[in-house]
């Protein structure tokens, strides 16, 4: 059975702004249902005219774009609370694909109701704008890493970002979190070769700063890793969700 909005598991996490009773009632009317998908399942396909939008209630996924020569660029990783399908909602079709990497539960909204959503609740519509802005900001950081950071700096930056997001969602225990991605995924996100990525991760492990094996990421010293990445450690701001 679909989860009632007032019982939404995201409401209990400190990372997210708690919705008011009125907002919960509004979202319940907008919600079309829930979808459960297995690892490896495509959620949205590049170029598709998707009729539905989603919020990830649980599980993790990946956003990527395929080039005509078969090469792939990973855009970012999907965490609980992320809104999926905004491009299709605004532009009519997806410019990238989204795939589940773990068992995922998705809150489903009909795209046909999207414009009514904006008209009926401007405050909630602003939340969508906020989510789009924060994603644009993240892509800017990623581009800076690809263009200006060395391999070890870029990988350190990515691991810190992933670890911080996981920690804010309560996914970190004893400095460890499950990471259902591959080194190829990380390499394709940062514009690095798989060999270079593997060797760089080995250097971080040798320094006893971070290790990633058997789908488990362990970071022993976040501050030192952030120093390598030339980044400041800041607490993640509370974010809205749909």
Q: Mind listing the pLDDT tens digit for each residue in 148-166?
A: 899 999 999 999 999 999 9
Q: Tell me what pLDDT residue 51 has.
A: 80
- Residue 90: CB atoms within 10 A of its CB come to 11
How far apart CA 218 and CA 31 sit, in angstroms, is: 37
Q: Tell me what pLDDT residue 89 has.
A: 59
Q: Tell me what pLDDT residue 90 has.
A: 64
The secondary structure element, H or E, covering residue 123 is: helix 122-148
How far apart CA 13 and CA 125 sit, in angstroms, is: 21
Structure-derived torsion over alpha carbons of residues 181, 184, 185, 186, reported in degrees to the nearest 10 = 100
Q: Tell me what pLDDT residue 98 has.
A: 93
pLDDT lower than 50: segments of the chain:
none
The DSSP code for 170 is: T
Q: Tell me what pLDDT residue 238 has.
A: 87
pTM of the model as a whole: 0.89
- Residue 211: CB atoms within 10 A of its CB come to 17
Q: Tell me what pLDDT residue 67 has.
A: 85
Among 202, 167, 79, which residue's Cα sits nearest to residue 131?
79
Q: Tell me what pLDDT residue 36 has.
A: 94
């Amino acid at each position: 059975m679909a989860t009632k909005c007032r019982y939404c598991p995201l409401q209990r996490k400190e990372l997210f702004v708690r919705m008011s009773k009125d907002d919960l009632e509004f979202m319940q009317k907008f919600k079309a249902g829930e979808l459960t998908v297995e690892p490896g399942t495509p959620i949205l396909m590049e170029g598709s005219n998707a009729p539905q939008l989603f919020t990830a209630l649980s599980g993790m996924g990946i956003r990527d774009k395929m080039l005509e020569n078969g090469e792939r660029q990973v855009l970012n990783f999907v965490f609980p609370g992320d809104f999926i399908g905004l491009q299709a909602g605004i532009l009519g079709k997806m410019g990238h694909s989204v795939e589940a990497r773990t068992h995922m539960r998705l809150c489903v909204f009909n795209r046909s109701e999207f414009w009514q959503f904006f008209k009926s609740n401007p405050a909630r519509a602003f939340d969508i704008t906020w989510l789009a802005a924060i994603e644009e900001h993240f892509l800017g950081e990623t581009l800076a890493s690809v263009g200006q950071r060395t391999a070890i700096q870029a990988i350190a930056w990515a691991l810190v970002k992933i670890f911080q997001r996981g920690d804010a969602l309560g996914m970190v225990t004893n400095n460890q979190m499950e990471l259902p991605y591959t080194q190829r995924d990380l390499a394709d996100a940062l514009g690095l070769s798989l060999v270079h990525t593997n060797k760089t991760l080995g250097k971080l492990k040798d320094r006893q700063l971070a290790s990633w094996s058997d789908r488990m990421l362990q970071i022993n010293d976040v501050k030192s890793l952030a120093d390598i990445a030339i980044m400041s450690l800041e607490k993640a701001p509370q974010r809205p969700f749909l």
